[in-house]
Amino acid sequence: MTRVLAFTSSGLGHLFPMVPSLWAARCAGATVLVGATGPAVAGAVSAGLPAVDLLPGGTDELAAIRMSFLRRMPGAAEAERFDLAMQLFAALADRVADAAVALGRAWRPDVVVHTALQPVGPLVAAVLGVPSVEHGFQLTGVARTQDRMAPHLAEACRRHGVAGLADPDEALDVCPPSMYPGGPTGLVLGYRPYSGARVLDPGGFAARPGRRRALVTLGTTAEHGELAPLLLRALARHDLDVLVAGDLPPGTDPGSVLAHGWLPLEAVLPGCDVLVHHGGAGSTLAALARGVPQVIVSREADHAFNGDAVTRRGAGVFAVPEGGDTGVLDDALDHVLHDPRPAKTARDVADEIAGLPGPEQVVPNLLAELTAARKEPA
């Protein structure tokens, strides 16, 4: 029986895109275990995947490491910000590297799966001499960032007796080919949105006759809280039924929205006319997979890249309200709600994604190939 050990960083946005693939592995007969930290541990368990916390009780310590890098990013040039991001994820990985290697040695996986920003996966694969797979979660294609993080993990590699991080044997690219100018950067995988589960009140998001509906989400972190009041004010001027996938800003009348709280995007996007969001890869890909046009309102991290990609493809608009000015949001909403082209393009991309091989097709074949290659004589 094939054993698959998956490593992800603490962010749910990095874990969730892997969940359908890990379940595809389980349905194909593999045994799956997730190694993670922070919210991703509970996220894996709630998805029905057994998990190991690589740093129990370490939330504050990891947050301090994160802040030590994030406070250096404002005002830095783009290249410097990228390098700081690589150093950040390498530092987070270094803190749990020993625990990850110990887990690998104890559990003895046949294949390691990891995200681009969790280099303990390539480290464990190198230590154990097993194949590894990088699982994409973004529109930028497969990142293959091991070379950028390896210098910052040289001491961890030395401690565990390997020359460096393992290069992935294969990479799964969840970006629809038409959304990425350079074309696929790995094995193309049709994106299957997953964002957790909760009990839903059907009356809270049922469509009302003659009303259009907007879904708002600002992701799984608290970094964009200042945007929420601006978005709700702009949406109110367009006479829309509004769902908020997250907490309401202080002072918001709960009666002004149909539903709020943690909402699984893939369950509530059908029937929505627009998704207004921060530009995270998970939200962007979920809207594309469900054929819903979108308005992206943040330029942090990879959000600007995602906003540009959506605008270039014609499936929505990148519109950042600078200085609290909501005029750009009004224009973007007017375009997406009243011009039929964004909705048509979004449906075209959804059809493209639906036509790509999904995890249930790709993952079993990939695992069979990787494990067969290990058994072949040298």
pLDDT per position as a tens digit, 166-213: 999 999 999 999 988 777 778 999 999 999 988 887 766 666 777 889
| Three-state DSSP state, 196 | coil
* Residue 197, in any domain of the structure: no
Q: Is residue 94 part of a domain?
A: yes
Is 196 part of a structural domain of the chain? no
Evaluate if residue 304 carries a pLDDT over 90. no
Q: Are residues 255 and 179 located together in one domain of the fold?
A: no
Instruction: Quick: pLDDT tens for 236-250.
Output: 888 888 888 887 777
> In this structure, are 216 and 131 located in the same domain?
no
Q: In this structure, are residues 16 and 200 in contact, taking their beta carbons and an 8 Å threshold?
A: no
The model's pLDDT over 150-172, given as tens digits with 9 standing for 90+, comes to: 999 999 999 999 999 999 999 99
- Lowest mean per-residue pLDDT among 140-144, 157-161, 257-261, 311-315: 140-144
Which of 22-31, 67-76, 94-103 shows the lowest per-residue confidence on average (mean pLDDT)?
67-76
* CATH number of the structural domain spanning residue 40: 3.40.50.2000
Q: Give residue 209's pLDDT.
A: 78
Look up tokens 């918001």; give the residue: 252
Among 109, 85, 145, 118, residue whose Cα is nearest residue 14: 118
**Residue bearing the bigger pLDDT, 128 or 281:** 128
Q: Rounded CA gap, 208 and 206, in Å?
A: 6
Does 290 lie in the same domain as 177?
no
Dihedral-angle region of residue 57 (phi above 0 means left; psi in -120 to 50 means alpha; beta otherwise): left
The answer to whether residue 291 is domain-embedded is yes
- pLDDT reported for residue 257: 80
The answer on 210 and 170 residing in a single domain is: no
- Residues 180, 207, single domain; the answer is no
Does residue 241 sit in the same domain as residue 140?
Answer: no
Gap between the Cα atoms of 344 and 316, Å rounded: 10
pLDDT at 219 over 70: no
Domains in the chain, number: 2
Residue 183 forms part of a structural domain: yes
Residues 235, 289 within the same domain: yes
Residue linked to tokens 């040039």: 77
User: Is position 87 within any domain?
Assistant: yes
Give this prediction's pTM: 0.91
Residue 43: predicted pLDDT: 96
Regarding whether 11 and 159 lie in a shared domain, the answer is yes
DSSP for 321-358, please give it. -GGG--HHHHHHHHHHHH-HHHHHHHHHHHHHHHHS--
Is the pLDDT at 226 greater than 60, yes or no?
yes
Structural domain range at position 96: 3-191+356-375
Give the residue with greater pLDDT, 2 vs 236: 2
- Residue 187 forms part of a structural domain: yes
Residue 25: CB partners within 8 Å, gap ≥ 6?
2, 4, 32, 363, 364, 367
CA distances from 306 to 287, 295, 301, 354 (A): 12, 11, 10, 20
| Mean local confidence (pLDDT), 95-104 | 98
| Mean pLDDT confidence for 138-157 | 83
> Two tokens at 238?
């367009």
Write the CB contacts of 132 (distance below 8 Å, at least 6 apart in sequence): 111, 112, 113, 114, 121, 122, 125, 166, 168, 169
Per-residue pLDDT, 378: 42
Residue 96 lies in a domain: yes
- Output the pLDDT for position 57: 92
Place of tokens 């375009």: 335
Both 83 and 215 in a single domain?
no
Q: Please report the pLDDT score of residue 288 as a whole number.
A: 97
For residue 377, the tally of other CB atoms under 10 A from its CB is 3
Q: How many Å apart are CA 127 and CA 273, to the nearest integer?
A: 49
Whether residues 259 and 276 share a domain: the answer is yes
Confidence label for 83 from pLDDT (cuts 50, 70 and 90): confident
Helix (H) or strand (E) holding 317, with range, is: strand 316-318
Instruction: Give the DSSP H/E element, type plus range, for residue 261.
Output: strand 259-261
**Do 363 and 268 lie in a common domain?**
no
More confident residue, 186 or 141: 186
Specify whether 257 is located in the same domain as 182. no
Four-CA torsion 265, 16, 70, 114, nearest 10 degrees? -160
